[in-house]
């Protein structure tokens, strides 16, 4: 590892300490990857690419030292709740559509059966309009 990377790692660790102690100097003080990158003076994507272990260390320290859930984990949990709700709604809609299919299939069977009866036995409901037979 080159000296520049060692310097970045040291700045990131110092920034972690400042953020976790509530003494942010360059960022807004939130416990996020973006705030840590600003606090350390390191580009966020470079930090996450070159120092992924420090990202995991930071979130672990946030979890243990502050007893808070890191922001990305909060967002993921909210997304999971929304997705579970969507799945439940879709399952209910699928059940409703399956019931509707059963009712329509039964209605089609009754109408087909009535069509095949002799004309004198057929019952004409008052709410059904006969369709012309295709030629």
Buried (b) or exposed (e) across 69-107, using 16+ Cβ within 10 A?
A: ebbeeeeeeeeeeeeeeeeeeeeeeeeeeeeeeeeeeee
pTM of the model: 0.52
Query: Between the ranges 11-15, 25-29, 61-65, 69-73, where is the mean pLDDT highest?
Result: 11-15
Query: Between the ranges 8-22, 78-92, 117-131, where is the mean pLDDT highest?
Result: 78-92
**pLDDT confidence of residue 35:** 87
Q: What is the pLDDT of residues 89-130, one digit of tens each?
A: 999 999 999 999 999 999 899 888 877 777 666 666 667 676
């Amino acid at each position: 590892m080159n000296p520049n990377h060692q310097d970045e790692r040291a700045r990131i660790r110092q920034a972690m300490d400042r953020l976790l102690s509530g003494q942010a100097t360059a960022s807004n003080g939130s416990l996020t990857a973006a705030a840590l990158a600003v606090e350390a003076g390191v580009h966020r994507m470079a930090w996450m690419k070159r120092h992924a272990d420090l990202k995991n260390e930071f979130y672990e320290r946030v979890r243990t030292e502050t007893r808070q859930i890191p922001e990305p984990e909060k967002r993921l949990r909210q997304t999971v709740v929304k997705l579970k709700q969507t799945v439940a709604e879709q399952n209910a809609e699928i059940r409703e559509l399956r019931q509707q299919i059963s009712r329509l299939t039964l209605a089609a069977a009754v109408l087909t059966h009535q069509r095949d009866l002799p004309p004198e036995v057929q019952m004409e409901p008052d709410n059904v309009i006969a369709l012309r037979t295709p030629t």
